[in-house]
Structure formats: C-alpha cells, structure tokens
Amino acid sequence: MPKKIIPLLVAVTLLGLVIAHFEKPFQDRFTMVETPFYPNLKIDDIAAIDIDYFTHKTHLEKENQEWQVIEEGQKFLADVERVDRILHFFTEVKKGEPMTTDENKFPALQLDTTGISVTLFNAKGDKLSRMIIGKQGPDVFSTFVRDENDKKAYLVETYLTNMLNVPIEEWKKKE
C-alpha cells in the first residue's frame, strides 16, 4: 500500500507547485495600488515613436492618421497591429510597487543605456515620455521598466523585448 501512495503524493505536490506558480496565491493582490505610468497620455496625442537599442534605431510617424516607418529618409506604411500594441501598452500600463529604488541595480536590470529606450512625441515634436525597457522579469510574462525621470524600477506584466527589439522590416506593413 505505501508504494502506491508515494507516486500519488509526488503527483499532488507537483500539481500544487504548478498551480502556485501560475496563480501566485501568496502575492497580496488586494493592497497593491496600481496607478497609470502616464495618466495624462492619450493615444491621439502620440504622433511619433522612437525605439533605440544599441545601434538598432526605429522611427515611426503618424501622417494623415496612418503610421509610417522611416528608413533612410523613405517612408513605408507601418504594421498597424504592432504599432497599436505599443500605443495601448503606453496608455494602459500600470505602476505597481517599485521593485527597486537603488540606481546601482539598474545596470543589472538593463534599465540604463543597455535597455531599450522608447520615446513618444506629440505632433509638435515635443517629448511626451521616455521609458527604458529592461530585461525579462522572473517569469516569461513580465519586464522591468522605468521612466527616464523616475528613480524607481517597476515590474510590468507584459514581455516587451520581443515586441520592440525587431528589425525595421518587421515594422513595415506586409503587402
């Protein structure tokens, strides 16, 4: 009889660990106040986006209500779905509790010059915001981020690197 119980206990324990990993039952969801990163930012206010990552630079502009990718002075229609994901992220992203306020930890989280910089501009060319996108969080669905003027790093529940760190061809509308 005990030989049959051991595999059952192992299976139940593994199932419990898997559920705990995805459900995060020990996370205090009720006391955390999430505030918008950019409470006054509206999608219609954004007229240009710059994405910088080392030598990889992408510039997107809205012209006559259509997003375009600028490559070597030439304009190409942009992939609307990809641009919409960025716009919605920036207008909807929430701050949770800061993960760190120690600026010495920013390089380890890629929240310095090694991270992806995303700058949003209005139609006049004024900067609306600049966010540094760092490395992946402790799970595959999160990313460390910070605003350039904020000395706090946050963990957001979106994996952004694969959405932003792509060749310029990926930003162009597929014909």
Q: 132 lies in a domain?
A: yes
Q: What is the extent of the structural domain holding 73?
A: 34-171
Q: 48 lies in a domain?
A: yes
Q: What is the pTM of this model?
A: 0.78
pLDDT one-digit tens code per residue, 81-111: 999 999 999 999 988 778 999 999 999 999 9
Residue with structure tokens 């950019």?
38
The neighbour count for residue 1, using CB atoms within 10 Å, is 4
Q: 73 lies in a domain?
A: yes
Residue with structure tokens 């799970």?
139
Quote the number of domains for the chain.
Answer: 1
pLDDT one-digit tens code per residue, 127-174: 999 999 999 888 878 899 999 998 999 998 888 888 888 888 888 988
Q: 17 lies in a domain?
A: no
Q: 22 lies in a domain?
A: no
